[in-house]
Structure 1
Amino acid sequence: MSNRLQPRKLLKLGLRLALLAILGLLLVNGWVRWATADYRFADVASIPSQPVAIVFGAGIRYNQPSAALRERLDGAIQLYQAGRVQHLLMSGDNSQTNYDEVSVMRDYAIAHGIPASAITRDYAGFSTYETCYRAKAIFGVNQAILVTQDYHLPRAIYTCRELGVAAIGLSIPDWNFKPEQSTTYYPPATQIRYTTREWLARCKALFEVHISQPQPTFLGPAVGLGEIASTQK
């Protein structure tokens, strides 16, 4: 009799653990969105000025920004042109000699009227955590506007603020906005994949900033970007 009941007990235990995991996932994601709600802005006109805008990489192809990255860059360019920031920190992946995400980002901004002197490249922004960590530790950024899509922005703000950067954020339109507000089309399957990945990434973010606190892949000498940007006009 006991052998027959064992699979049922294991099934019940598995279901309880699964429910706890789902509940934990919902709580973490709700907390990250709630904790960052006052720091997220939907348009350039309403966002307070800050010395620096941090632009998160989102992939390149044939040495051109991806559609999502192009929208992030356009948002950063608008911030600069509106006088909301004085400097742009481009953070992305340059882990291979034939993949230089941040130089593509810089070249796009320059082609759209941003002076090269107002752009700094972070070649080792391999993740949201590493971008935020390096912004503070390497570039001396204490305050910034983060520029990324709406689905990613809560995690980015939460991570940066926990790592010592008083960050606010500009929400770049995605599927959470009206269709006419985003020029990038996100198929339903992509929306589900990005949302699922982001929910899990928020759990990882809380673990990193509150428990494991890893150092980024690369560190280096301080550049003092925060001081440079704050004195530029």
Structure 2
Amino acid sequence: VRGEAWGPGAEWLLDRLPELLGASDAPEAFVPRHRVVATALHRRPGLRLTRTGLVLESLIPSVLEQKVTTDEAYRAWRLLVRKFGEPAPGPAADGRLWVMPAPRTWALIPSWEWHRAGVDNKRASTILRAVRVAARMEEAVRMAPAEAQARLEVVPGIGPWTSAETVQRSHGAADAVTVGDLHLPGIVGWALAGDREADDCVMLELLEPYAGQRHRAARLILLSGRVPARRAPKMPRWDIGGL
């Protein structure tokens, strides 16, 4: 892999490029215990968990994803970053790539701009509380994943779901299971035991043979495509920005 970078963070980025590509991951430590997982691993031999080394960059999008559809969260992220971030440096950016706002910039976003982006007050307030202690949040990258999750969950509005989604990316945490998810327990339960009604407790019990690698196992299950048939319509989208 050959990398080029521009701007104030260029040297930092190139130093971290191997970890961004999963060089610090250890996929060889994973031993599949179920046929569906073994098949997914065989079909995706290059799967690696990356480590960004950046907490807020993963934390803020994860907060935006709380209790809404993925499309709504992506839209909010896109609108806020394009309005309050900066164009990325370098010739390849060409006005299409943007840099996430600095913590102080997030803290100064007016309430009506959150509303226009479709972000309710609860999620906006959580992000504002997190960016006020941005340095403490970023310190978590030097902690073990479990300790980092505990650090993040000190901030009101950040629970196990959000902290797990964050350290999966910032730390490349192979064992950080996303609990509290609307769909994941049923998908894991269906793939491993034919139980589409599985809850978090059942999911964690089914993933116990993968202790230390439970997030990787869940990722492989998602990549297997073995999901239960939908029984209800998708969650409706609510554009609060139009209210």
Compute the TM-score of the two structures, normalised by the length of structure 2: 0.25
More strand by share: 1
